[in-house]
Amino acid sequence: MIAALEARRPLGGSAVTVPRISLGCGNFGGIGSAPDFFGQGLTGDQALELMDAAWELGITHFDTADAYGGGRSELAIGRWISARGVRPQLTTKTFNPMQAGADSGLRPERITRQLRSSLDRLGVDHVDLYLAHDFDPDVPLPESFGAFGEAQAAGMISAYGVSNFDAPQLQAALTAGKPQAIQNCYSLLTRQDEHELIALCARRAVAYLAYSPLAGGWLTGKYRRGEPFPAGSRMSQRPGPYQELTVGRTFGALDRLKAISAARGTSMAGLALGWLLAGQRVTQIVIGPGRPEHLAPVREALEHPLTDEERAAVERAFA
């Protein structure tokens, strides 16, 4: 176990604390919440192997959602918990349909139904953090948060929050209820939250959780200028969220990151994760490795933290 993984930070103003790194399980039995990819991604046995490797490294918080793989992700985690006899800290989420054409959204009755089904698949009686996986314009936030509050009072969740909300939506959420965390896409290449939303989190004591910290693999260096995307990579399977990165300035920034990482003796991915860990406003990073060996950059980032000067150099590379 890496000692740095034992460090914890408060989850907003709640009594919950979380480690800096969480294992993202969106590729267990699918590729995120997209029904077209349900049944793809990691097999059940591959997911178990990855959870074993993460746990051995010291990662004790697993992040999933009801619709990841159409429920397969939660089932895999539940199977692992039962087989290994250990209990990780858990985040799960709801919003997206469990299959093509099924209902979605944040209606109170759906939240209650989906939470119970998540607990059944996970084989637990509560989760530590429950997130609204997207903003629902058709349901007033006080109604949704009423269901979250009831679940919290019943001991089914320890805290609740939101995901994929922008700054005005988070402000509305803070008016409607008491979300303790927000989980959004954030990395060296996806920094849209920096100026307004992250500042709002700091002012209102909302924990900021960063998913896709390597921008769908872009910050590993696997995508090269003028070359086809590697088979099995995110850009060859579900490129939509990262299509805007396929421009010259991205490759220029990656070339500069590669030079810094080479001089430092670490991987590009380890450097990108280290940049996030050095930021005081990021409470937790959700990593989504595809294989146990993909955990190596986490070890690098934790064992070789960035100095202020190194973080400034990385910032300049992406200016």
DSSP 44-94: HHHHHHHHHHHHHHT--EEE--TTGGGGHHHHHHHHHHHHHT---EEEEEE
CA separation, residue 229 to residues 32, 216, 222, 238 (Å): 19, 12, 8, 11
The torsion of the CA quartet 48, 91, 211, 4, rounded to 10 degrees, works out to: -80
Looking at 68, 130, 223, 242, which residue is catalytic? 68
| Contact present, 62 and 84 (Cβ < 8 Å) | no
Any idea what DSSP says for residue 35?
G
In which element (H, E) is residue 168 found?
helix 167-176
HSE at residue 47, side-chain half, CA atoms within 13 A, is 30
Convert 139-165 to b/e letters by CB count within 10 Å (16 or more is b): bebeebbebbeebbeeebbbbbbbbbb
Place of tokens 């590697």: 230
Among 258, 266, 265, 267, CA closest to 314? 258
Here the tokens at position 88 are: 């990780």
Any idea what DSSP says for residue 28?
B
Here the tokens at position 220 are: 């590993």
68 is catalytic: yes
Residue type, 232: G
Please identify every residue annotated as catalytic: 68
